[in-house]
């Protein structure tokens, strides 16, 4: 149940129409989980600054069942960074934040994801 939330000050008209589909593929590849469980949320037009500048910037939140690990998170960061580069957010103007969540704390399909990793 990987979730990718992107908050960015990039304007909506600068987000490609197929960007959510592309991010779904990126997240599936990065987490090695099926696309059907990916949830992508992009919030453009945010009032944001990074380092005191309002040049394009972003925060990417990656929420996933089970800890990915140090090396896995580095790979995921590179993939997300490359995807955000397509909307002109450079690697030094974003943070990628990882959150490990317990299956019991996620409801899905009339139950929870307890026992799923």
Instruction: Residue 90: give the domain boundaries.
Output: 3-112
Q: Is 2 designated active site?
A: yes
- Predicted pLDDT of residue 51: 97
Q: What is the pTM of this model?
A: 0.90
- Predicted pLDDT of residue 50: 98
The answer as to whether 82 is a domain residue is: yes
The answer as to whether 117 is a domain residue is: no
Pairing of strands 107-108, 111-112: antiparallel
22 Cβ partners below 8 Å, 6+ apart?
16, 83, 86
- Predicted pLDDT of residue 103: 82
Q: How many domains does the chain have?
A: 1
Q: Which of 2, 16, 56, 91 is catalytic?
A: 2
Say if CB 62 and CB 26 are below 8 A apart: no
Q: What mean pLDDT is predicted for residues 63-74?
A: 85
CATH number of the domain at 28, please. Answer: 3.30.429.10
Q: How far apart are the first and last CA of the chain?
A: 9
Measured between alpha carbons, how far is 9 from 36 in angstroms, rounded to an integer? 28
The answer as to whether 60 is a domain residue is: yes
Residue 67 has pLDDT above 90, yes or no: no
Measured between alpha carbons, how far is 46 from 53 in angstroms, rounded to an integer? 13
């Amino acid at each position: 149940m990987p979730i990718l939330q992107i908050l960015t000050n990039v304007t909506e008209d600068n987000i490609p129409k197929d960007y959510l589909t592309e991010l779904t593929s990126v997240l599936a590849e990065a987490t090695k989980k099926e696309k059907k469980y990916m949830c992508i949320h992009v919030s453009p037009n945010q009032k944001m600054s990074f380092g005191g500048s309002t040049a394009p910037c972003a925060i990417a939140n990656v929420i996933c069942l089970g800890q990915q690990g140090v090396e896995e998170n580095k790979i995921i960061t590179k993939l997300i960074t490359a995807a955000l580069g397509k909307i002109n957010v450079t690697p030094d103007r974003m943070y990628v934040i990882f959150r490990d969540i317990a299956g019991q704390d996620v409801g899905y399909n009339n139950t929870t994801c307890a026992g799923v990793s």
